Structure 1
């Protein structure tokens, strides 16, 4: 699954620089995650880094963007080449 940022976001700016895929950007009111770029850090880290640093725990899985680990890894390979 891709991740999403809920409206509980406090715009603290800590998640954006942690994303190795540049999937997080400032939206109109809160940060947002581009589901086409989010691999939940598969290929980079064992756990999503944005979730690890978020002080308000507002980055859950997006139930409308369900992806398997294999699909997330395939997305990583498309963006960064094989590893």
Structure 2
């Protein structure tokens, strides 16, 4: 529960409520929701067709792994085990 004791916050809430015809509570809620929508990062829509096309293109260049094959083996020198 909010219990804000700030004269400026109270004055602003009264002005917003009077201008919009909302109650003080509604004015505060709507104001906070609007502010939150502006500061929250917007995630771009995912184009599933584009993702599927990229995956299909990648699959063309990959070969299936053999049973027991380490998919990260190419990253390491087989003699030293250090990164290649």
The TM-score bracket by the shorter chain reads under 0.3
**Greater percentage in helix:** 2
**Greater percentage in strand:** 1
Q: TM-score, normalised by structure 2?
A: 0.20
Highest CA radius of gyration, 1 or 2?
A: 2
Q: TM-score, normalised by structure 1?
A: 0.20
